Structure 1
């Protein structure tokens, strides 16, 4: 029942979101999603915004307590992608790989996937591109659940596009 409520809520939130990311694959036990955008800044500027300004670009409606300023990323192995609202706290993902200006990898389950006991690897990849930096957001998640994970892919797909879009829009505004 709780999973149905969460999925319904996510579906409603995603309907107003940006275009879908690319679904690389999906199966009953997992999926891979990838999306990318080019932003008119160098990789250092993009990296700094990714790890230091997450509260300024992450969609607030995809936080536990509705306030993205409560988010932080510690860009070091073992670091926390966390949300802290006083005594209410969430460890969203663990930073597992850092190559400043190029790759940030985190593992864990985002949002309702965490509560379902699912796990994933999320990578932010930055690469030089014509006109600036290409930012690619890649997420592979899976694990055991009695639910068919293919039904979650459209929702996660749109939410990932919103997250990347938030960073890209923030960087575009910053470049003006």
Structure 2
């Protein structure tokens, strides 16, 4: 299950230019992250809509990032199959989870989804994640802004930094897919689990 409260392990290779809890109130918060990704917007977009490639399987209900899928159109689902074998599909799997619902999608530019992630799913809150892409020379400037508001039993001063860390980790993993090869090898020696290039 999502491990928002656990400390994160070693940071991956990517230059995050902004990463912080940018606003808090008694019943909500905003976290903002930005990074320069070493690829063109259309390439980054194709990766974003394939969350199995970059979302950490540690932050899932099944424990396996391969069970994630995303339909990048209004009403589409960022979902996860609860299955034990790769042959199981949505009809034969043990169950499924809707993490977020797509409410805005513009190819190569923006993806906005509504959903309370991880342990927030059991609270009476609304979460909105906006992913923005903008050409920046040969790179793509990517931003993740996640806004959460409503009634929850988690103290904001505790849950906001934890969610901030998890959202930041996913953007870092996305950027790491396109980091210069020598940087990745120097930092880690191998690609992080769940981020292999699609065949």
Q: TM-score, normalised by structure 1?
A: 0.87
Checking the alignment, whether the CA contact within 8 Å between 2:77 and 2:100 is kept in structure 1 is yes
Structure 2: gaps of 5 or more residues:
83-92, 182-196
Output one character per residue of 1:75-130: Cα deviation in whole Å (capped at 9) or x when no partner. 00000000012122100010000111010000010011111122111011000113
What CA distance in whole angstroms lies between the structure 2 residues aligned with 1:27 and 1:65? Answer: 32
Equivalences for 1:136-147 in 2 at 5 Å? 136-147=143-154
2:97 aligns to what SS in structure 1? strand
What CA distance in whole angstroms lies between the structure 1 residues aligned with 2:19 and 2:97? Answer: 26
Please tell me the root mean square deviation across aligned C-alpha atoms, in Å.
2.0
2:38 paired residue number: 40
What CA distance in whole angstroms lies between the structure 2 residues aligned with 1:117 and 1:69? Answer: 28
Pick aligned residue for 1:109 from 94, 116, 121: 116
1:3 paired residue number: none
Would you tell me which structure has more helix in proportion to its own residues? 1
Count how many residue pairs are aligned between Structure 1 and Structure 2.
166
1:16 correspondence with 2:25: no
2:55 paired residue number: 58
1:21 aligns to what SS in structure 2? strand
Shift of 1:17: 5.4
2:101 paired residue number: 94
What CA distance in whole angstroms lies between the structure 2 residues aligned with 1:47 and 1:58? Answer: 14
1:81 correspondence with 2:78: yes
Structure 1: gaps of 5 or more residues:
1-5
Larger radius of gyration: 2
2:26 paired residue number: 28
